[in-house]
Amino acid sequence: MKVLDLSPFLFPGGPVGCLLVHGFSGSPPEMRPMGEFLAAKGLTVLGVRLAGHGTSPEDMAKTTWRDWVASAEEGLQELRGRCERVFAAGLSMGGLIVLHLAAHHPLEGVIAMAAPAYIADWRFRLLPLIQYFVPWVRPQIESDLTDPQAQEHIFSYDVLPTRCLVSLGELIRLVRRELPRVGVPVLLMQGRRDRHIPRESAQILFEALGTKDKEIVWWPNSGHCITVDSEREAVWARAYEFIAKHS
């Protein structure tokens, strides 16, 4: 297996920029192929690495959702210095973060992919109580990728800090409350084979959004990480179509 480059990336291009935000415990490689595609279309693309990600679980344990959002805000600020118009696209928790950005910062539009509206596992609700006694959790979710080679673009932690899972829950609840404030165009995308988040997540987010310019696109043969799974090129093309339409 090839060694993944876990660093953030910047592809300079034209006056339209796109910020790419990876998911919880993930890393920039899950967004890089999409970034390369958008850059080839002439966009300036910046893929951030969120605080505590792509290094070690111990680093992540020192962070909360505020640190992850701050990483995205730094990337947004850098893109604003380079571009006239800026979009933001995120995967999973990254999708929540870009929706949060849209509620607080000027953006041309947002693409939220496989963003969770809630966590279905009943044990998740116990984590705020047990985080002080059980500091680490080992996720036990089977891969839902329909393209076996997609795993080559994914780096995530095998062990997760319990306090960070609690913080993820806080971010989900915060973003749910903020959705009516999102007034820019929004494209929601989700794979129908996604086992990581509740099936109805996209619809829940869609209904709460304040904007009237919103759409859901479902991908029938994709799991959670739609940016690198079987329908990835169609996902990238649909994202670019959205950006081009609203530029």
Among residues 25, 27, 71, 92, the one annotated as catalytic is 92
Among residues 53, 153, 196, 224, the one annotated as catalytic is 224
Report how far residue 34's alpha carbon sits from residue 45's, in angstroms, rounded to the nearest whole number. 10
Q: What DSSP string runs through 72-116?
A: HHHHHHHHHHH-SEEEEEEETHHHHHHHHHHHHS--SEEEEES--
Task: Provide the phi-psi class of 92: left if phi over 0, else alpha when psi is between -120 and 50, else beta.
Answer: left
Asked whether 47 and 28 are in contact (CB, 8 A), the reply is: yes
- Please say if 92 is a catalytic residue: yes
Report how far residue 112's alpha carbon sits from residue 87's, in angstroms, rounded to the nearest whole number. 11
HSE-CB at 19 with a 13 A cutoff on CA atoms is 36
Among residues 194, 201, 229, 230, the one annotated as catalytic is 194
- Please say if 224 is a catalytic residue: yes
Q: How far is CA 233 from CA 90, 175, 220, in A?
A: 16, 28, 14
- Please say if 71 is a catalytic residue: no
CA torsion, ordered 22, 136, 133, 123, to nearest 10 deg: 70
Catalytic residues: 92, 194, 224
